[in-house]
Amino acid sequence: MTGNGRWPTTPAITVKRAEMVKLFASAPIAASMGMSAHYDDQGRAVFTQPYHPGFDHALGGIHGGLIATMLDNAGWFTVAPHYDHWVATVEFSVRLHAPVRRAGLVATGDLQSLGRRMAVARMEVRDDAGALIATGAGTFTDTSVPIKP
């Protein structure tokens, strides 16, 4: 088994992660934004967003709403493979550390707590040069809604 040590990766979770990547790739938001998803060798969901001027705010920087979306995605997709049903975001926080202009972004989630019905993840966004742009934390809950990848 591989993983981050606290939550080893089982074959079933590996399969679910592959299904989650396909699920995101099929979502209209993925095509509209040009965002892609994968999992790293520690089981963290990683979202890559190439720079696009359509996501700039009036002063020329990348809008915080895009950064918040990336944080939520990274947390949700990190947590989701650990549950048998659809997961819902209960709450998440966003802390913007630095403005970013004309750069691609990478968001990563890191599982912090995994319970029977709820999980907590920490997330971060860095620019394509590696500078920390934002951090966040989220709480996610298991639902009774089936996952239909």
Euclidean distance between CA atoms 56 and 61, whole angstroms: 5
CA distances, 106 to each of 25, 79, 134 (Å): 16, 18, 10
pLDDT of 53 over the 70 cut: yes
Pair type for strands 45-49 and 85-96: unpaired
Q: Model confidence over 40-49: pLDDT tens digits?
A: 999 999 999 9
**Average of per-residue pLDDT across 54-69:** 96
pLDDT one-digit tens code per residue, 62-120: 999 999 999 999 999 999 999 999 999 999 999 999 999 999 999 999 999 999 999 99
What's the sign of the alpha-carbon dihedral 118, 122, 127, 129?
negative
> Please, what are the domains in the chain?
2-146 (3.10.129.10)
Q: What band does 32 get if pLDDT is binned at 50, 70 and 90?
A: very high
Separation between Cα atoms, residue 102 and residue 15, nearest integer Å: 35
Q: Does the pLDDT of residue 128 top 50, yes or no?
A: yes
**What is the predicted pLDDT for the residue at 4?**
54
Q: Which amino acid is at 83?
A: Y
pLDDT band, very low/low/confident/very high, at 149 (cuts 50, 70, 90)? low
Report the distance separating Cα 2 and Cα 42, nearest Å.
7
Residue 144 has pLDDT above 50, yes or no: yes
Residue 1: predicted pLDDT: 31
